A and B are shown apart, each in its own frame.
Chain A
Amino acid sequence: MSEDDERQQSPPSDLEFVSNKARNCNATGSGSGHPEFQSAYPDQVLENVLENVLHFLTSKRDRNAASLVCKSWYRVEALTRSELFIGNCYAVSPARATARFTRVRALQLKGKPRFADFNLMPPDWGAHFNPWALAMAKAYPWLEKVHLKRMTVTDDDLATLAELLLGFKELVLVCCDGFGTSGLAIFVNKCRQLKVLDLIESEVSDDETDWISCFPEGESQLESLIFDCVECHINFEALERLVANSPSLKKLRLNRYVSIGQLYRLMIRAPQLTHLGTGSFSPSEIAGQGDQEPDYVNAFAACKSLVCLSGFREIIPDYLPAIYPVCANLTSLNFSYANITAEQLKPIISKCHKLQVFWVLDSICDEGLQAVAATCKELRELRVFPVDPREDGDGPVSEVGLQAISEGCRKLQSILYFCQRMTNAAVIAMSKNCPDLVVFRLCIMGRHRADPVTGEPMDDGFGAIVMNCKKLTRLAVSGLLTDKAFDYIGQHGKLVRTLSVAFAGDSDMGLKYVLEGCPQLQKLEIRDSPFGDAALRSGLHHYYNMRFLWMSSCRLTPNGCQEIARAMPRLVVEVIRSADEEEMDDAVEILYMYRSLEGPRTDLPKFVTIL
C-alpha cells in the first residue's frame, strides 16, 4: 500500500509506515518521498527506532515532554500520537490540531467549564463540536473513538461522525447536550462497527424517534450501551432483540423507563454482563393478580461476572434482595438515585466486601455510613449526595458519618460528601486516617457555616487535609473559611491541580496564597468570594501553566481583567454577563480565562466579551 492511499483507506499500520519510510526516507508522511531525500539520511535509522519506541508511550504528559526534546522528536511524536486529548476545546483549533497530529485514532475533547453545570452562566456559551466534527471527518477518516465532555453536539454532528467515519467504534458523551433521539437514530443506524455508545449525564431531547430500533439487524459488535440519562421511552422489544444479538455486550445501563420485569428479560439474555444499570427497578404498575413474578434472584445469580451495579432510578425497596447474589463480587455500586434507609442498605452493604466505588444518597444517614465503614475495607471512592439539595434542608449525614468512614475505609482515595454540618475534628481525623486521599471534596451546604461544636471556621480541617494527604491533587472547600485556610493550601497543597472555592475567604490574600503557593494548579474555580484585581495580578506568573481560571461574583473590575489581558497575549480573557445584560457594567459578573494558541474565538454569544 502506497503512502498516498494510506490516508483514505484503512488506518495506517505503524510497521507498514516504518517500512515505507525506510524506502522513501521521508519523515513527514505527507505523500510519496521527495527525490532529494532518497539518499541515506544519517538520522533516519534513529528516527525509525524512535518512532517504534514512542509507540509505547501512552501517557500524554510523557508525550508532551518527549515532543519538546528537539524537532526530530517533535515530528516523530506527532506522527505516533494516536490518542489526542484536548482539555479545552478553545485552546487549540481543529485545523492546528489536525495539522500537527496526522494519525489520530481517538479524540478526547472537553468544552464548558464545570461551573456551567450549575446554571452559573447562560446556555449557548459555546463549546460546539461542529467544527471539530467536520475537521475530523476530513483529516482522520479512520478515527475510531470520540470522547466528549461538556460539549454541544448536534444531530448533524452525529450524522457526520456516522457517515464519514467508516469503522467508527466508540462514542462517549459526558454532560453533553444539543442532540436528540433523531440524531441517535441516524448515528446507530450508520455506524455498522459500533462497539461503544455511552451517554452519561447528557441531555438528550425527545424527538419521539425510536432510535433503539435503528440499530442494524443481525449480529452486533456492541460491547457497551449506556443510556441511563435518556429521558424518554424506548422500544423495549427492539432493545431485547439488540441485546440478544450482541454476544459481546458487557456494559448495559438502562434508563428509568425500563421496568424491573423488562430488566429481567434482558438479564437472562445477557448473563455475561459486567456492568449493569438496572433502570427503574420497579414494576410497571399493572401486575395482574395471577401473574407470577419472575425469579429476579436467579437472574442476578446467573450474572457471574457482574462487578458494577447502578440504576435503581425509581426503586421499590422490596426488590432489593434480588441483588444479594452479586454483592460479594461488586466493586462498584451506585445507589445515588435510590432513596433508601439505613435499614434497607445494611443487608446489601454487609455483603459487599470487595466494594471499591460507592455512590449513595444521604437518606442512609450516618448509620448507613457506619455500616459501609464496617464492611467495605477496600473502598477507594465514596460519593454521598443529598436527597434534599437545599441550604436549609434536613441533614441526615454529618461529621459522625465522615468519622466512621475515615476509621473504616483506610484506603480511601476520593470522597465527595454533601452535608449540613461538619466539624474540624472529623475532617482532621480523615486527613490522618486516610493518607491516600487524592480527591477531597466536602460540601457543607449552608454557606459560611462554622464548626457547630467549636464555633470556629473550618480552616483547620482543610489545613489538615493539605498537610497530611500528601498525594492530594483535587480539593473542594466549603463552610466558613478565612484567609488562613488558603494560607494552608498555598503552603502545603503542592500537588493540588484542581481547586474549587465557594463563599470563602476574607480578602485578596486568600487568592494570593493559592496562586503563589500552588505550582501544580491547573484548574481554579471560584464563586462568591471577596477576591479582587490585586489578587488576580498575583497569578500572572502562573496563568500560562493553567488550563483555566473561573471567578464569578467576586470583586473583579473590567480594568483589572483588562490589565491581565494586556499582560498576557496568549490568554483569552472572557467576561460573561447574564443573558439579558447588553453591555459590561462596572462589576465583572463572571471571569473565565484560559490559555489558547488561537486568540479570541469567533463563535461568541452576545453575553460574552473578550478583553
Chain B
Amino acid sequence: MEVNYENGLNLKATELRLGLPGSDEPERQTTPRPNKRTSSEISSSGLTDDGNDDHQASAPPAKAQVVGWPPIRSYRKNCIQAKKNEVEGGTGRYVKVSVDGAAYLRKIDLHVYGSYPELLEALEKMFKLTIGAYSEREGYNGSEYAPTYEDKDGDWMLVGDVPWEMFISSCKRLRIMKGSEARGLGCI
C-alpha cells in the first residue's frame, strides 16, 4: 500500500487503523512470499475438497489472516493460489528416480525442468537409456523404457498425461519401467 507524501502530509501516521499507536503496522511484515512454504504445502495441489484450511495454510505468515476475509470463496482462492505457487517456483522439488535393473536410485529436482521433453531428455542422459516419444493414445509404446511416477494418492501413473504444473505438484517419485512391463501401461 502506498504512502501518500504528495502534500507533505504523512497520511499514514494519521490513518485510522486497528492496532496500538506506535506499534509496527501489523500488515507490514515483509516476509518473502512463496519461499517460506514447506514442501508438504507445495506438494498438496491445494485443489482438494478441504477448502476450509487451505487459504490459511498456503498464505505467508505475514499477518494473522482474518477468517473469511476478504470474502472470496475457497475454491477461487485455491485456484489462483495454486497458479501463483506454480508460477513462482519456490524451493526445490527433489524426487527419487529408480530405473528397473539399475543398482541404485538417483534424485532430481523437478523444478529445474520446465516441461516434459526437458525432463525426459535429462533422464535419458542420466541413465543412458532411450525413453522415446509420448502420445496421448499409446503412451510410450514402442520404446524400451517408460517413465512412470507415484502421485500423491499412491497410484502409479504414466508420465505425460497431465499438464506439467500438475505433474510437478503431485509427483512423489519416479520409476522408469522396462519396455515389456511398460507396454501394458501404454495400452490403457
Residues on A lying within 8 angstroms of B by beta carbon are: 115, 117-120, 123, 175, 201, 203, 205, 229, 231, 233, 257, 259, 280, 282, 284-286, 288-289, 313-314, 336-337, 339, 361, 385-392, 395, 418, 420-421, 443, 445-450, 452-453, 455, 457, 480, 500, 502-503, 527-528
Contact = CB atoms under 8 A, between A and B. Distances in A.
12 contacts: A119-B51, A203-B75, A337-B80, A339-B87, A385-B72, A389-B72, A392-B63, A447-B69, A452-B1, A452-B4, A452-B11, A500-B71
A443 B16 contact: no
B11 A337 contact: no
Given A205-B49, A259-B163, A285 B116 contact: yes
Nearest to B29: A392
Contacts of A259: 163
B17 to A, nearest CB: 6
A389 B75 contact: no
Contact of B117 (A286, A448, A449): A286
B179 interface: no
Contacts of A284: 136, 160-163
Among A201, A392, A420, A443: residue with most chain B CB under 10 A: A392
A421 B49 contact: no
Contacts of B69: 118, 391, 445, 447, 502-503
Interface in B14-28: 14-18, 27-28
Top 7 nearest A-B pairs (CB, nearest first) are: A118-B68, A392-B27, A285-B164, A286-B134, A285-B116, A445-B70, A286-B160
Q: Is the interface of B mostly helix, strand, loop or mixed?
A: loop
B83 A339 contact: yes
Nearest to B115: A285
A315 B163 CA distance: 11
A259 B164 CA distance: 11
Contacts, number: 137
B152 interface: no
Interface string B34-74: 00000000000001110110010001001101111111111
Q: Is the interface of A mostly helix, strand, loop or mixed?
A: loop
Contact of A288 (B73, B75, B133): B133
A158 to B, nearest CB: 17
Nearest to A282: B163
A391 B18 contact: no
Interface residues of B, number: 52
B79 interface: yes
B134 A288 contact: yes
Contacts of A361: 80
A443 B71 contact: yes
A443 B75 contact: no
B150 interface: no
Interface string B144-178: 00000000000000001111110100000000000
Given A285-B163, A389-B76, A447-B69, 18 more contacts: A175-B73, A259-B163, A282-B163, A284-B160, A284-B161, A286-B135, A286-B136, A314-B83, A339-B83, A339-B87, A386-B70, A391-B27, A446-B27, A448-B18, A450-B16, A452-B2, A452-B4, A457-B16
B68 A115 contact: yes
B71 A502 contact: yes
Contacts of B134: 286, 288
Among B1, B2, B75, B162: residue with most chain A CB under 10 A: B1
